[in-house]
Amino acid sequence: MDSATGKAISARTRLLAMRWILAFVIVSLSIFQLCLTYRGMDQPEAMDMAQIGRQIARGEGFTSKFIRPIDVWDQNEFSKGKALDFDHFADTNHAPLYPYVLAGAIKASGYDDFQAHRMDDEKSNVYAGDRVIAATSTLFFLLAMLLAYTLFTRLFDEVVAITTVALMGLSELVLQYALSGLPQMLMMCLMLGAMHCLTSAVKADKEDRSARTVLWSCLMYVLLGLLCLTSRMSIWCALGMLAFTGIYFRPRGMHAAIGAAILAIMVILPTVYQLAPTGGLEKKLMYGIFNGFGSDGAEMLMRSATTEALSFNSSNFFLRWLGYTFAQFNSMYINMGAIVTTPFFLLALLNKFRNPAVQAGKWAVLAMWLIACAGMALFGEARTISASQLSILFTPFFAAYGTALVFTLLARMQLGSAFNGVRGLTIVAMLVISSGLFLFQLPKQLYMGIWTSARGIPHFPPYYPAAMNGKLHNMSNEQELIVTDQPWGVAWYADRKALWLPRSIEEYTRNLEPIFNRANQGTQGFLITPSSHSMQANGVSGVIREAGDFAPLALEGKLLLLAPRHNMAFAELFTTNANPKSTARPLASLVSTQGIYRHRNFILGAEMIYYSREAVSDKNP
Q: What is the pLDDT of residues 288-322, one digit of tens each?
A: 666 655 445 577 788 888 766 555 556 566 766 77
Backbone angles phi and psi of 269, in degrees to 5: -65, -50
Q: Minimum mean pLDDT among 131-145, 289-303, 338-352, 360-374: which range?
A: 289-303
Residues 145, 113 share a domain? no
Position 452 pLDDT exceeds 70: no
Residues 386, 322 share a domain? yes
Task: Let me know if residue 620 belongs to a domain.
Answer: no
Return the higher-pLDDT residue of 476 and 448: 476
Percent above pLDDT 90 for the chain: 61
Residues 523, 427 share a domain? no
Task: Let me know if residue 57 belongs to a domain.
Answer: yes
pLDDT of residue 230: 97
User: 449, 483, 505: which is the final residue of a domain?
Assistant: 449
Position 363 confidence tier, pLDDT thresholds 50, 70, 90: very high
Position 121 confidence tier, pLDDT thresholds 50, 70, 90: low
Task: Let me know if residue 221 belongs to a domain.
Answer: yes
Amino acid identity at 458: P
Residues 434, 326 share a domain? yes
Q: Minimum mean pLDDT among 32-36, 45-49, 236-240, 345-349: which range?
A: 32-36
Q: Minimum mean pLDDT among 26-40, 343-357, 587-601: which range?
A: 587-601
User: 449, 475, 501: which is the final residue of a domain?
Assistant: 449
Q: How far apart are CA 572 and CA 595, in angstroms?
A: 9
Residues 561, 422 share a domain? no
With contact defined as beta carbons under 8 Å apart, do 464 and 486 qualify? no
Q: pLDDT tens, 567-610?
A: 667 777 777 776 666 667 788 888 887 889 988 899 998 899 99
User: 409, 426, 449: which is the final residue of a domain?
Assistant: 449
Task: Let me know if residue 13 belongs to a domain.
Answer: no
Cα-based angle 506, 511, 516 (whole degrees, multiple of 5): 120
pTM: 0.94
pLDDT of residue 8: 64
With contact defined as beta carbons under 8 Å apart, do 291 and 281 qualify? no
Task: Let me know if residue 617 belongs to a domain.
Answer: no
pLDDT of residue 7: 61
Residues 507, 529 share a domain? yes
Q: What is the mean pLDDT of residues 104-123?
A: 90
pLDDT of residue 79: 84
Task: Let me know if residue 387 belongs to a domain.
Answer: yes
Q: How far apart are CA 618 and CA 473, in angstroms?
A: 9
Return the higher-pLDDT residue of 309 and 352: 352
Mean pLDDT for the chain overall? 88
Position 26 confidence tier, pLDDT thresholds 50, 70, 90: very high
pLDDT of residue 493: 97
Return the higher-pLDDT residue of 427 and 293: 427
State the DSSP code for 58: T
Backbone angles phi and psi of 484, in degrees to 5: -155, 160
pLDDT of residue 441: 83
Q: How far apart are CA 486 and CA 609, in angstroms?
A: 12
Task: Let me know if residue 196 belongs to a domain.
Answer: yes
* Strands of the 599-602 sheet, one edge to the other: 66-67, 498-500, 481-484, 523-528, 609-612, 599-602
Q: Minimum mean pLDDT among 61-70, 115-124, 169-178: which range?
A: 115-124
Residues 357, 208 share a domain? yes
Q: What is the mean pLDDT of residues 21-29?
A: 92
Position 351 pLDDT exceeds 70: yes
Helix boundaries (H) for 58-181: 69-77, 97-109, 128-155, 158-169, 172-180
Whether the upstream peptide bond of residue 462 has omega within 30° of 0, thus cis, is: yes
Residues 273, 138 share a domain? yes
Q: How far apart are CA 7 and CA 18, in angstroms?
A: 16
Domain of residue 592: give its range: 44-126+460-612
Q: Minimum mean pLDDT among 251-265, 379-393, 493-507: which range?
A: 379-393
Percent above pLDDT 70 for the chain: 90
Whether the upstream peptide bond of residue 552 has omega within 30° of 0, thus cis, is: no
Task: Let me know if residue 28 belongs to a domain.
Answer: no
Q: How far apart are CA 194 and CA 395, in angstroms?
A: 15
Position 537 confidence tier, pLDDT thresholds 50, 70, 90: confident
pLDDT of residue 56: 98
H/E stretch holding 608: none
Residues 350, 473 share a domain? no
Q: What is the CA radius of gyration of the chain?
A: 27
Q: How far apart are CA 171 and CA 439, in angstroms?
A: 9
Residues 430, 416 share a domain? yes
Position 380 confidence tier, pLDDT thresholds 50, 70, 90: confident
Q: How far apart are CA 209 and CA 215, in angstroms?
A: 10
Phi/psi region, residue 538 (left: phi>0; alpha: psi -120 to 50; beta: rest), is: left
Closest CA to 360 of 403, 401, 407: 401
Give the 3-state DSSP-derived string for 357-394, with helices as H, strands as E and coil as C: HHHHHHHHHHHHHHHHHHHHHHHCCCCCCCCCCCHHHH
pLDDT of residue 621: 45
Q: What is the mean pLDDT of residues 383-410?
A: 94
pLDDT of residue 238: 97
Residues 439, 489 share a domain? no
Residues 395, 343 share a domain? yes
Q: Is 82 exposed, middle or buried (0-12, 13-18, 19+ CB in 10 A)?
A: exposed
Check the CA dihedral 541-543-546-551 and report its sign: negative
With contact defined as beta carbons under 8 Å apart, do 504 and 480 qualify? no
Domains held by the chain: number: 2
Closest CA to 274 of 92, 100, 51: 92
pLDDT of residue 295: 46
